Every structure is written in structure tokens, then in C-alpha cells.
């Protein structure tokens, strides 16, 4: 197999001032992620998802064990700039990531930090502005945009750097349903274009198409496998406070009434297809 794009070996982390039973935010995590995968990272509040996300672009480094991103050790500060160019991150709250007073300057910010020539910066801004539907907003003050627009500006700024990995930490949790769908579909397009996606969400419908699901519970990996396998495991879902996607729950209710759908649908589209042919 090719070298994994991300590799964790026996990674543990504890926040410096944490105390009590759950001192360790992450405990002994070993896993590899292959380039091009769409990974759903799930778990209850406080299970360690954001801590793991921050580790993957070297905002935090392991207390024990090691992480490599595209072969680069995250504990070596000399690698940090290149790791952050390789692994872009989008957080839950776009206001925490918007730094400039116009949308254009905000997208330009990361590109200027890369030291790119002005023409290349302009080309990249025009490209992401078109792809993420923010071309009409370039002169606007980010502060006054809607949540959905802000999150697209953040995504545009991150993608302009051309990262090979995107880490998204509950990126749609502050958006309305329409903006949520739009944002999610932009992420799917990026993934289809070859970007490795690590997607953290409480909304299981957003993960129906994931290649692989990782579930954390109290800082440990308690599931690593296919979406359908975690969504069929009631005991585990209950333990980590998750609910299977609507299509899976509907299919199971139908099955109890004698109407068995095979394969079990993960999306409403698949469910309708199987019922109506």
C-alpha cells in the first residue's frame, strides 16, 4: 500500500491544566489515513474529536506517540508551515477564522503568507471566488455576511492554499439547512477532485457517503469501519450518543413491518430508489 497521507502511532494527549478522571483527551490512538478518503469522525461532546483535528495540522502535538502528515512529523516545528499548507482546517464558527475587513483580503491573507506572486494570488482568488460562489461578495465586509456566506469565504480561503487534506470540525453546525446542504455539496466536490476529507459532524446524514467512519469515546477509537456497520450497531450508537441517518432508521422500521430493503439504504435518495425502483 502507498504511504498513508496521515499516520498516528500510539498518540495520547492531555491538556496541560486538565484534571480528574478524563485527564487524557486522547489515549493511545494508532491509525493510518489513505489519500483520497472521506473519513467521518464522530463521537459525543467531549470525546476528543476537536483535539484530534487540531493534532492533524499541528495546532497541538502529541504528549506521547507521533503523528506524520504526508511523512512530516508534527512534533518538529520546522514542519509546521508545510503541514498547515498540506492540511487545511475549517472550524465550527467562521468568525473565529475571518481575519480581514474585506472578503477579498481575507482570502488573500493565507496566500500572501505563502509568499506567492501577486498575479498568482489574483488568479487563485478569482478561481475560488467562482467555485465557492463568493465572487459577488469580494468587496464586502465579512462581518455583515450570513453564516452560510461566511463559511464559504472561510472554505474559499482554505482551498486557495491548495491543501491535499481538509479537516472540517462541525463546519455546518451554525448554518441553516439550505446553507448546510450547499456547504456539504462543495466539500463533496472537493473530495471528488481528490482532496482527502476528515469531516466531523453530529449530523449523520452528512456522512452517509463516507468511505470510513471513526468513532471516539472518551479519547479512544471505539469504531473504525464502514458507515453501515456503525449505523447498524445500536448498542454502540447509544453509548456514543449518535443516531443513524434517517434513511437507515426508516429502512429498519420498514424491515420490522416485513418490508426488507437490500442493500440497506444510507441516503433518502437510495431509499426512494429501492422502494420505487
Ligand X SMILES: Nc1ncnc2c1ncn2[C@@H]1O[C@H](COP(=O)(O)OP(=O)(O)O)[C@@H](O)[C@H]1O
Contacting residues toward ligand X, per CB under 6 A? 15, 18, 22, 25, 43, 45-51
Nearer to Mg ion, 49 or 184 (CB): 49
Q: How far apart are CA 252 and CA 266, in angstroms?
A: 11
Residue corresponding to grid cell 474585506: 102
User: Using CA atoms in the order 68, 74, 76, 79, what is the torsion angle rounded to 10 degrees?
Assistant: 90
Nearer to ligand X, 214 or 251 (CB): 214
Nearer to ligand X, 5 or 52 (CB): 52
Q: How far is the CB of 50 from Mg ion (least distance, A)?
A: 3
Query: Residue 103 touches which of Mg ion, ligand X, none (CB < 5 to 8 A by kind)?
Result: none
Nearest by Cα to 103 from 136, 140, 135: 140
Q: How far is the CB of 46 from ligand X (least distance, A)?
A: 4
Q: Cβ of 152: how many Cβ atoms within 10 Å?
A: 26
Query: Residue 22 touches which of Mg ion, ligand X, none (CB < 5 to 8 A by kind)?
Result: ligand X
Query: Residue 45 touches which of ligand X, Mg ion, none (CB < 5 to 8 A by kind)?
Result: ligand X
Nearer to Mg ion, 50 or 149 (CB): 50
Read off the C-alpha cell for 271.
431509499
Nearest by Cα to 208 from 241, 151, 246: 246
Q: How far is the CB of 269 from ligand X (least distance, A)?
A: 29
Query: Residue 239 touches which of ligand X, Mg ion, none (CB < 5 to 8 A by kind)?
Result: none
Q: How far apart are CA 102 and CA 106, in angstroms?
A: 6
Amino acid at each position: 500500500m502507498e504511504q498513508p497521507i496521515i499516520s498516528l502511532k500510539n498518540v495520547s494527549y492531555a491538556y496541560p491544566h486538565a484534571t480528574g478522571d478524563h485527564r487524557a483527551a486522547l489515549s493511545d490512538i494508532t491509525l493510518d489515513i489513505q489519500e483520497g478518503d472521506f473519513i467521518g469522525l464522530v463521537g459525543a461532546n467531549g470525546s476528543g474529536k476537536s483535539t484530534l483535528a487540531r493534532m492533524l495540522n499541528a495546532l497541538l502535538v502529541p504528549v506521547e506517540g507521533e503523528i506524520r502528515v504526508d511523512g512530516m512529523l508534527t512534533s518538529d516545528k520546522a514542519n509546521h508551515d508545510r503541514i498547515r499548507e498540506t492540511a487545511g482546517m475549517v472550524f465550527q464558527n467562521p468568525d473565529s477564522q475571518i481575519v480581514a475587513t474585506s472578503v477579498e483580503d481575507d482570502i488573500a491573507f493565507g496566500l500572501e503568507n505563502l509568499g506567492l506572486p501577486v498575479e498568482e494570488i489574483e488568479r487563485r482568488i478569482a478561481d475560488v471566488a467562482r467555485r465557492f460562489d463568493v465572487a459577488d461578495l469580494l468587496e464586502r465586509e465579512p462581518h455583515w455576511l450570513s453564516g452560510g456566506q461566511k463559511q464559504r469565504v472561510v472554505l474559499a480561503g482554505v482551498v486557495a492554499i491548495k491543501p491535499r487534506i481538509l479537516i472540517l470540525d462541525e463546519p455546518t453546525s451554525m448554518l441553516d439547512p439550505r446553507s448546510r446542504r450547499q456547504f456539504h455539496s462543495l466539500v463533496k466536490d472537493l473530495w471528488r477532485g481528490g482532496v482527502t476529507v476528515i469531516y466531523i459532524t453530529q449530523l449523520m446524514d452528512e456522512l452517509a457517503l463516507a468511505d470510513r467512519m471513526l468513532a471516539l469515546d472518551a479519547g479512544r477509537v471505539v469504531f473504525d469501519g464502514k458507515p453501515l456497520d456503525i449505523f447498524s450497531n445500536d448498542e454502540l450508537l447509544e453509548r456514543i450518543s449518535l443516531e443513524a441517518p434517517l434513511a437507515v432508521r426508516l429502512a429498519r422500521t420498514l424491515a420490522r413491518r416485513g418490508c426488507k430493503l437490500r442493500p440497506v439504504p444510507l441516503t433518502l435518495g437510495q431509499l426512494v430508489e429501492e422502494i420505487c425502483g
